[in-house]
Structure 1
Amino acid sequence: MADYKFQTSLKSTHEEATKVPDFASEIQDQASLSDEETSTFMLLLSEAVDNAIKHGNQYDPEKNVSVDIEISKSEIVARVSDEGVGFDTDNPISKNPLDEENLLDTGGRGIFIIQELSDSFEFLNNGSTLQFKINRKS
């Protein structure tokens, strides 16, 4: 059961994406997150929102990105949803950015970072929602 719930909606623009750090800081204050939890959460949330704006909504300012956060004593759960068409979640397009042939590619780092730093993540709603979890240190 969540002790705290937070929501926000952002237009699909670069300017709106810059609001994520302030949103995460507000959550830190209200939910008493540690600095380490907040920095990981902020990075993952920023990557998820950026992906939703770029890949899901394709920078269409008429489309929104919805962010839902639930925080309990044991975990932080974030769901970031876009208004795009989704994708085949059984075959996500994801290359390892650390592989030599991908080092100079500018894409593909967001999902890799989320996968590496979250305790779990999954795509929901035909790929138009990304959910990640961070286990909290008691």
Structure 2
Amino acid sequence: MKNISIQIPSMVENIRIVESFVDNAKEVYSLTDDLYGNIMIAVIESVNNAIIHGNKLDKDKLVSLNANLSDEQIVFNISDEGAGFDHHELPDPTAPENIENVGGRGIFLIKHLADEVDFQQEGRNLQLTFYLS
């Protein structure tokens, strides 16, 4: 099993570091372009949520990103130091009253791009699983 990880301060400009992390994962794990695209969007959205909603843009709080590869799958763990949230209480972005809202689609998008999404530690940790075949 191959494992790579980083920690970044909670500043939106650090998303470029996460993009480099995913680019590195593509090389280390020899990911297909389709899988790489899904991972890039889902991981960026997850880290962005951790920075903005979890750690409330507090640069003294860290977001941790970890990737583990096995023969069958790659698993990303994104953790923040925030208060957490109840992912069951999120409004449905496809409901008519929410269609024109600017935000609120991140978790919906993540759930459609990753093969498995698991919220842990009251929403402070998000585990994204992508199958390799």
TM-score, structure 2 as length reference: 0.93
Identify the residue that residue 135 of structure 1 maps to in structure 2. Answer: 131
What percent of counterpart residues are identical?
35
For the aligned residues, what is the CA RMSD?
A: 1.3
Distance 1:104 1:58 in 2: 24
**Which of 23, 27, 37 matches 1:25?**
23
Distance 2:37 2:53 in 1: 24
Q: Is it true that 1:64 corresponds to 2:62 in the alignment?
A: yes
Distance 1:94 1:132 in 2: 18
Amino acid at match of 1:86: G
Q: Please report how far the alpha carbon of residue 49 of structure 1 lies from its aligned counterpart in structure 2 after TM superposition.
A: 0.1
Distance 1:108 1:94 in 2: 8
Aligned residues: 133
Q: Please report how far the alpha carbon of residue 78 of structure 1 lies from its aligned counterpart in structure 2 after TM superposition.
A: 0.8
Secondary structure of the structure 1 residue equivalent to 2:97: helix
Q: Please report how far the alpha carbon of residue 22 of structure 1 lies from its aligned counterpart in structure 2 after TM superposition.
A: 1.4
Distance 1:121 1:52 in 2: 15
Identify the residue that residue 88 of structure 1 maps to in structure 2. Answer: 86
- Map 1:28-47 to 2 at 5 A: 28-47=26-45
8 Å Cα contact 2:77-2:125 kept in structure 1 = yes
Moved over 2 A (4+): none
Identify the residue that residue 10 of structure 2 maps to in structure 1. Answer: 12
Q: Is it true that 1:125 corresponds to 2:125 in the alignment?
A: no
8 Å Cα contact 2:114-2:129 kept in structure 1 = yes
Q: Structure 2 unaligned segments of length 5 or more: list them.
A: none
Q: Is it true that 1:116 corresponds to 2:112 in the alignment?
A: yes
Distance 2:123 2:23 in 1: 27
